[in-house]
A and B are shown apart, each in its own frame.
Chain A
Amino acid sequence: SAVISQKPSRDICQRGTSLTIQCQVDSQVTMMFWYRQQPGQSLTLIATANQGSEATYESGFVIDKFPISRPNLTFSTLTVSNMSPEDSSIYLCSVGSRNSGTDTQYFGPGTRLTVL
């Protein structure tokens, strides 16, 4: 499977500021996704990062709050804008890899965000 890295691994930010999280893959992948995992909770899909076009957001997530870029097949960024303490979470990127005829996902190590 692909090797996935994320930067930063963790950060503590002040409310009202923005943070950009980077996701880098060591090989070209078709699909990249961004998830949020609040403490003790499950994984919630934020959006699908589409290469060369706008991301596809899930219900409850909007581009103004979570702008996503995907300039090529190995890299994507997620920005958490105008942060509030409710945005404190782990943010994970995942990449799709074909497995048994369908796409499964492999996760990056995550970015632990604390908003004060």
Chain B
Amino acid sequence: SQKIEQNSEALNIQEGKTATLTCNYTNYSPAYLQWYRQDPGRGPVFLLLIRENEKEKRKERLKVTFDTTLKQSLFHITASQPADSATYLCALDWGTGRRALTFGSGTRLQVQP
């Protein structure tokens, strides 16, 4: 079965640095991959989507890469701020037509002022 792995350990970085979060998956590549942000007690909020034929996507301070050879997506937040502290989830659509996403367990990011 398909598996998604995100680093379960929290990532602690200093304000102003670039945060890099990893999402690895097994078996065949998804049709597309999404990144969501989740704050405590809230539902996930969509950030970026990248398709299997795209290498990189950017939105303001956010950048996502997608390497189908490594079966990995990297999520970068440049010039990080304490307000970026949250749990970040990657979610994959395997293109089966079901449309429901398969989520990783998320990585908690803590940006220290």
A and B: partners?
no
